[in-house]
Amino acid sequence: MIDKVSKLFPGILVMAVIARHLGPEEFGIWNYAIALTTIVCSMALLGMDKIAVKELVEHEQEQPATVATAISMRVAAALVCMAISTGIVILSRPQQSLYLYCTLFAAGSIVLQSADVLDYFYQVKNDVKKVIIPKVSVFLFFCVVKMMVVVCSGTLITLLWVTLLESLVTFLVVIIVYSYHQVPLSVLNVQPYRAGRLLTQSWPLVFSSLLVMLFVKADLLLLDMLGSAAQLGAYVVAARISELWYAIPTVFATAMLPTLMRQKQLSREAYLEVLEKWLRLSFWSSLAIAVLVTLSAHIIIPLLYGAKYLSASPILMIHTWAGIPVFLSVAFVQYLIVEGKYKIYLYSNISGLVVNVGLNLLLIPSLGGIGAAIATVAAYTSVYATMVVLDKSGQGWMLLGKVMAPALVCNDLRQAYNRLKIFTGRRLYSENIATND
């Protein structure tokens, strides 16, 4: 949570300054490249964000081999995807060099993000501070660097170099920290048979990740194709504010997955109770955020981005409601992972992709960014609905029936508050004992 929050406010501030500096068109081109590379390179993740955690929990004695194999797989896949992304831009935009430069730098950053596999190792060890603190420090340092580039009237190319350098420094820092505290990474620990087993387990998640990125980023590509780079720039600033909140369920999902796996082994009833509370809190918190952002959108956009981006306000008012199905889906996906129902996740993302692309093609020509926002809300809603419908156990319907109960959520909050008080009291007591000693 500290990692996400520390990036939340500095990140949106720096992005706002950069958007103001570049203007809607250049900012839109940069985000087109990010969207394209993110879609293509989503396959390079290879489902490792879920499968690696499961592998590390179930085979604790083989963690060095798992980590080395997973990183090597991601690097190799990312390099292939980088070549594909570059080829797409060369063929589709032969006379537009700025699109090509942005794509090369964006894809290069994704290759360097392969070290994120080490995050999963620390999550399983419940020792994430060893990797989070260095990564946050690098991020905040480069926020200052980017601000200095803008103050000095730096070009988009300069900002691309700074962003790539940030990814490189983060990669090196994470590798060095891991090698210092654990077994140094070595290609000798890479095991082809383990890579084959991981791919066999993760292929539904690989395609699911591709589909997720397609329906998450397809609106950006279609806006650039059917509209203009300037329209895309306005849409992106609205989507960035709306999607900032997605860090909250992502953080909880990351922390909860190993816990849910262990909880299920101990008691299925307690495991389902935790999942029920998580879904309920997800619904009510996302509803509160949607209402707050909708009421303040006409203030947020001009304050952060200036008069050039006023058209983003109505887009934000609509796009922010996608947060409700997103919060619910992130929680429910963890249930599917624990239960091994990977194919449901795949099918739900197919439904989201069909809805999103279909509505974007229908609405963007007449409504522009507003049409894309409507399509996004509908797509995320269809994803969650499909997961619930396809869960043949009926557990999804049972959980959904208890999600919207205000009395139950008040009780959940009361319990969470009491546990936080107990936890804080224990920490303060321990610190006082340590000080006295």
With a CB cutoff of 8 Å and minimum separation 6, the contacts of 175 are 115, 118, 185
At 384, the amino acid letter reads Y
Q: Is the Cα torsion angle 293, 294, 299, 302 positive or negative in sign?
A: positive
Yes or no: say if 214 and 14 are a contact pair by the CB < 8 Å rule: no
* DSSP secondary structure letters along 235-298: HHHHHHHHHHTTHHHHHHHHHHHHHHHHHHHH-HHHHHHHHHHHHHHHHHHHHHHHHHHHHHHH
pLDDT in tens, the chain (437 residues): 667 666 677 877 888 888 888 888 888 888 888 888 888 877 666 656 566 666 666 666 667 777 777 777 788 888 888 888 888 888 888 778 888 888 899 888 888 877 777 776 666 666 677 777 888 888 889 999 999 999 998 898 999 999 999 989 988 888 887 777 666 666 566 667 666 666 666 666 666 667 777 767 778 888 888 877 778 888 888 888 888 888 778 777 766 766 777 767 677 777 777 777 778 888 888 888 999 999 998 888 888 888 888 888 899 999 999 989 998 888 888 778 777 777 787 788 888 888 988 998 998 888 888 888 999 999 999 988 998 888 887 776 777 766 776 667 677 667 766 766 665 666 555 555 555 55
The structure's pTM equals: 0.69
At 377 the pLDDT is 92
Helical segments of 320-368, H only:
323-339, 342-367
At 55 the pLDDT is 65
At 23 the pLDDT is 84
Alpha-carbon distance of 271 to 254, in angstroms, equals 16
Of 318, 332, 320, residue with least CA distance to 403: 332
At 39 the pLDDT is 80
At 302 the pLDDT is 86
At 59 the pLDDT is 62
Alpha-carbon distance of 236 to 233, in angstroms, equals 5
Alpha-carbon distance values, 14 to 17, 143, 146, 254, 320 (Å) = 5, 6, 7, 26, 21
What letter would DSSP give residue 404?
Answer: T
Alpha-carbon distance of 428 to 434, in angstroms, equals 10
At 320 the pLDDT is 92
Q: Please, what is the Cα angle at 348 between 28 and 272, to 5 degrees? A: 115
Alpha-carbon distance of 98 to 159, in angstroms, equals 13
